[in-house]
Structure 1
Amino acid sequence: MTVFDLVVRSRRVVLPDGERAAAVGVTGGRIAAVGGYGERMAARVEHDLGGLVLLPGLVDAHVHVNEPGRTEWEGFDSATRAAGAGGVTTIVDMPLNSVPPTVTVAALDAKRAAARGRCHVDTALWGGAVPAHLPELPELLAAGVPGAKCFLLDSGVPEFPPLDDDGLRTALRAAERAGAVILVHAEDAGLIGDCSGPGFAGFLASRPGAAEARAVERVIAACAATGGRAHIVHLSSAEALPALARARAAGVPVTAETCPHYLYFSAEEVPDGATPFKCCPPIRSAADRDALWAALADGTIDQVVSDHSPCTPELKRLDTGDFGAAWGGIAGVQLALPVVWTAARERGLPLSRLAAWMAAAPARLAGLAAKGAIRVGADADLVAFDPDAEFTVDPARLHHRHPVTPYAGRRLAGLVRTTWLRGAVVDGRTPRGRLIEEVRRR
């Protein structure tokens, strides 16, 4: 009889074809068997979770680690510790706000050097596309990144300037030749206004939903013209959804994500001066939130990622509450799963949908063939999750570098009891994460 390194049993295992009672056998860090809950499976270590849910490890394909260069904002050690505590077993790091940004092979090498030996979960890296280094983009894509991110307006940091429409098409052509994807921060600069002071309504008005809608239409046109594949990051506006749905139905190679904060909060509940809520694009109305949920349900949006984007407390302007001056970003990698589950269960949605949105789809986007699902041959990235347990968010118990969060004091549903990375428990002390330097291209 085969003796597995690890067997985990649960009456509620979320598999690619749905939820059922099962036992998962692990050998050499990979899933070697998926059998019945009561099936005899010899193991060196065995856990019976009973009624706890066994989920695939989440894949968060939108995390700003900021190391090297702005490690005082965040770093690989703290960001990946937070990820593991939240049931995320793989992150894909964004090319900004590190210094240098990951826009050349040399910068990619520097980022890899900073990450090695510091990661508590497996980590891949996106590249970046900026005007001055577009000629080098093919070389960067060939160096092992799954794709590159660009902005269509000011990114907020001077070392990562935006692309115009010609630059976007150049990047998409390079991605098409490489079988890669271009990630796009899609807001149209021509529709962005000025903002200052503590009023959230003024900040929201300065970045209207129409700015997202116009930018998404530009991306769709560029994809149709080049055949290149684009992915819209952190979509928040209902106004952008009709064009996106039409494009996807027509076979234009464009996908989109949204984020937990857009699915949980609404603009109507954000207090003036509460800059921990600032992100770009902004949290929008309850009607926008409902439209995002509907777009997830019908497949117009196919994934949910954190857009974990921390900074120092000083940059959040907590003293003045000035939305215009504060850094725009929410640090949420540790809380993404319970935040989304809290909102999803209120809508009667099962955990299998969350596994599709938060594990399988991000893994597919980033070319991580061994991630995102409980199936034979995949990495044994597993999460024991208690969907009925509730907790109140205490910022002091979060693992990202600075305890600033708009979720402080919120009552959330769902506790991560154990996270396994390739069959080993993620304990937050020993960094067992691997740096993923090669991905599978389409």
Structure 2
Amino acid sequence: MAPVILVTFAGREARMEILTRYVRAAMADGLIDEWHVWDFTRSDSDHQWVTREFGPARYMGHAVGYQPCGTISRRAPLRLEALISNDLHLAILPKDDQETLYEVVVGGWNNQQSVIRKVSRERLNDADRSDATMTWARLTPSVLSPGRANDIILSVDGTGTPELTVNGVVLGRWPEISLSAGADVMIRGGWGAALELCHVNEPVRRYVGNPGEQLPYFQAYQYYAERLADFADALFLKCDDDIVYMDLDGLAGFIDHRRKNPRYFVTSANVVNNGVCAYFQQVSGALPASLGHFERPPGGFGGTLWTDPDKANNLHDFFLATPKKEFPLPSKVVDWQERQSINFIAWLGRDLQHMALARGDDEKMLTVDLPAFLERPTAIYSDFTVSHLSFGPQEEGVDVNRLIAAYDKLMREKLAL
């Protein structure tokens, strides 16, 4: 069966911990095969949490700082499969020297030269290396192959001497560097070269986008579109990091409907706190008038729910008090021709051929521009319910801590934790 891959743009720790429990339960049940967590964090504390929680990095943009990739010792070399065209950087941090690191640049200077620099650890992610000590340099023309995953082996012999082999060629051996106590190793790309570690195939893995990008999500769509051959048979789910309830009993039906209905470009779950979904939920009678009027957002965008935190608070409270945890739509599937929020959507891997998105509004591209160009509708599937915590305009007034505590309690009841 074609794999089901969930993509999440991470991430805020306080808002994502509930989602993490649901997703891991779905993976344990065999509903989701892989979880690709894209690190688009905006704070160092959130970045550190994502790094700890979601395992090894599979991919990192060219401007991403060093990421952990393993250890070396006299007993165990470090083996990597690195897809990169130039400027592979390895940081070797000796376990018996907490002040120093050795930076190995493989295929720098347009894949023509390799060097080792001795650097203080506090300068690990500094761009300026002008005061670093160059301890070794060698001309290495075309050492990295852009057409394959490069085999990298970093080993330490019985005397503590490190040796680096690239694609079967010994790049260097350095007796002047002692790693008799072993070392931690970190890795990154650089100078325009993104890095993919092809040996990282854990079911849950990280993808690290370039930091500081405005509207950074295009990086993820382009990654998958450029690898169409690898993902054409997959089914993709994409959810926000602040999904705080997921109806696992309805997820299989959502996935099955998505597989069997290729005419839709994207299909949305039935989302609590989503303007278009709320409109249809009230049309069906699931949301009483006492909660307020949930109008059809103009063109599918904005509307009073999107901007009104009190309305969002009341809607969440009503959902939490509803025994069945469902707000049925007027029909099992609602065809839609306008914009909608992409809090939890699904698409078919074959459609990645259309998804090399430019930098910009990915929601508009996925639910308006591409469906119009391809003459394919989008849809909302009634029988799979998720709850979305908040939109940006709601932030100042939504009672985040109280709602997270309530949804955490619900999650523990549903998952019998």
Relative to the length of structure 2, the TM-score reads 0.27
Q: Please state which structure has a larger fraction of its residues in strand.
A: 2
Relative to the length of structure 1, the TM-score reads 0.26
